[in-house]
Structure 1
């Protein structure tokens, strides 16, 4: 049976690309999202992938540019539906939020087909996601420095929590944030429809980062193997899981000098960072309050008093 997404239609054993129309620009010209349908030669389940929900988070798009050329429909059981660029308005101007309505797209799900620009895009892409058995919503930690991780956002009491954890383990970045997310996230909304969904956060950078992209490529193919879309053994290595974060802010204005590295185990009293003045004189020092893992930090060294500097993951265990 042929599968269609937007104007892309593929018969079994075929791949097609096209566009999914989501409205018009201010001059009346059409706006559409790039889509791809990979329809396997054999029957099976459906995986939905999307990227660039936030317009400056490009690592997910980098993943798709490397994954899609390697997908052979003749070797695939089931189908893969892909929206390559979700927040197309923000992508065009390299900004995080949709400039049409000043909205963070990943707070607009499940959307509203008669709503704002972001709600209409969310509704169109949510409709595509709800045709799938599994969903990967590819993100990155904006422009901050961050570990490669996968986020389980449904909450630990959700009926699909175990299924989402399994999907995160199959994706296999090595680090998982298992914390209920805010309303409007795709990884919150899709499990409500019975679809295991995760939100991989592939590092953080300006532009894109090849190492994080490779984590994503390997993650997608591991998911495809684990759930039977492709033949082969899937690696299911132990993951470091966190339940939340402690955030640390600058006690004084100046320049940040980190004393901890991403992924480092942190103990109470460990120095996380120091603040110096422009001449290297110490203006402040911040130490950890509890056990955890150094997970995320700002990229630029200059900070004002009270400005965010870094995060330490807490409630850490292995699964």
Structure 2
């Protein structure tokens, strides 16, 4: 194992934060796997999974079982780890600017323009050239503050990875994941090992999140190039939502770390006999088909369906009770699908987001991600 510390741009005199990176396996191997946790810093289950994964990788490396380079960043957001307001942990947004740590990563649009003039007829050589162009683009970019330096350093660590796994969690949720159509073929075994209750696909969800900074770029590049300049996909990426924020236990995190190990063995990044693939609990569905549920009134929120439940169209999911008039408003599902996440609130204002249900038919377009 190789340990690396990467300083971030100091926001003020006398302060400095850094990224800590653990590297396993041969640096010149044929494949690179990049895994990070808790880019939204208050998503602790992902961090514990990364800790237990690191312990297992140390053991496997000592046994000579690594066939790929694996880069692990267990704490992907040291900025957010320091953010508390009146005792409440705020890790999703930077307090100084209000920006979401997992939105609007540097796009590689200039690389696409350069590639049109640079690439030839060999798809493998073209992938090498594109990665060099991405490297050059990152070297040209100069972050102007700590937030940008964090995003910049994460991209420098991951842009040339074959596989990117971004570990998150939701507020209250079943295990679920997000990837694109190309990535689904690669990550369907991971969904099986994890026991994912929902897997949602989108080429462009609209938010320039960390996973799409990788996968969307390669998809857009392939769409922009003529048939005479083919290029192999360089990176497939997935966001794994490790249930809800309160699902912090050794048992749950060990299950997820073991699932990641099984997946890495399955794809040949680790040597060993792959575990049998479990059944796929739920088929993949379009992210545009997921129903976003909102409160039509204010009041006490009562949950009427369990997280991870398969619900029918018209099934009651939430009651909202006005404590002054006793009026009860029931929110029902329009979809037949899985209630895969809900907010951790129990009193709502009108218009507050409540939860999400998967669906097979697209309902939405444009920005598909929440704030």
TM-score (norm 1): 0.83
Deviations 1:80-122, CA, capped at 9 Å, x for gaps: 1112222211112232212344321211323743344322211
Tell me if structure 2 keeps the 8 A contact 1:254–1:303: yes
Counterpart position of 1:183: 207
Query: For 1:33-52, what aligned pairs fall within 5 Å after superposition?
Result: 33-40=19-26, 43-52=29-38
2 CA distance for matches of 1:48 and 1:171? 18
**Number of aligned pairs?**
295
Q: Which moved more, 1:25-34 or 1:262-271?
A: 25-34
Q: Which residue of 1 aligns with 2:244?
A: 204
Distance 1:167 1:48 in 2: 17
Structure 1 residues 116 and 234: alpha-carbon distance in aligned structure 2, compared to 1, 3 A threshold? farther
Consecutive unaligned residues of structure 1, counting only runs of 5 or more, are 1-14
Counterpart of 1:64 (choices 40, 44, 50) is: 50
Which of 139, 142, 155 matches 1:126?
Answer: 155
Matched, 1:227 2:267: yes
Deviation at 1:306, TM superposition (A): 2.3
Contact 2:54 2:72 in 1 (8 A): no
Map 1:78-117; keep pairs closer than 5 Å.
78-93=68-83, 94-95=89-90, 96-110=92-106, 112-117=141-146
Secondary structure, counterpart of 1:184 in structure 2: coil
Q: 1:136 to 1:104 in 2, by over 3 A?
A: same
Alpha-carbon displacement from aligned partner over 1:11-48 (angstroms, at most 9, x marks no partner): xxxx1223111211312433211111112599442211
> Are 1:77 and 2:77 counterparts?
no
Q: CA deviation at 1:188?
A: 0.8
What's 1:286 paired with?
331
Please, which of 7, 12, 15 is the counterpart of residue 29 of structure 1?
Answer: 15
- Deviation, 1:67, is 0.9
Cα 1:56–1:75 shift into 2, 3 Å: same
Deviation digits for residues 193-226 of structure 1, max 9, x if unmatched? Answer: 5201100011122483556524431331122111
Distance 1:186 1:59, change over 3 A: same
| Equivalent position SS for 1:311 | strand
Distance 1:293 1:162 in 2: 18
Structure with more helix by fraction: 2
Which moves more between the two structures, 223-232 or 109-118? 109-118
| 1:243 matched residue in structure 2 | 286
Whether 2:188 is the aligned partner of 1:148: answer no
In terms of mean alpha carbon deviation, does 34-43 or 222-231 score higher? 34-43
The SS at the match of 1:140 is strand
The answer to whether the 8 Å contact 1:106/1:186 transfers is yes
Greater shift after overlay, 298-307 or 277-286? 277-286
1:254-265 superposed matches below 5 A: 254-265=299-310
Structure 1 position 314, deviation (Å): 1.0
1:255-299 CA-partner distances (Å, limit 9, x unpaired): 111221112222222111212244894421122223222121122
TM-superposed deviation, 1:65: 0.9
Q: Residues 235 and 256 of structure 1: is their aligned pair in 2 closer, same or farther, counting only changes over 3 Å?
A: farther
SS in 2 for 1:85: coil
* Partner in structure 1 of residue 298 of structure 2: 253
Q: Which has the higher strand share?
A: 1
Q: Distance in 1 between matches of 2:329 and 2:184?
A: 43
CA distance in 1, matches of 2:360, 2:317: 18
Q: TM-score, normalised by structure 2?
A: 0.72
SS in 2 for 1:248: strand
- Give SS of 2:354's match: strand
Q: Per the alignment, in what secondary structure is the counterpart of residue 247 of structure 1?
A: strand
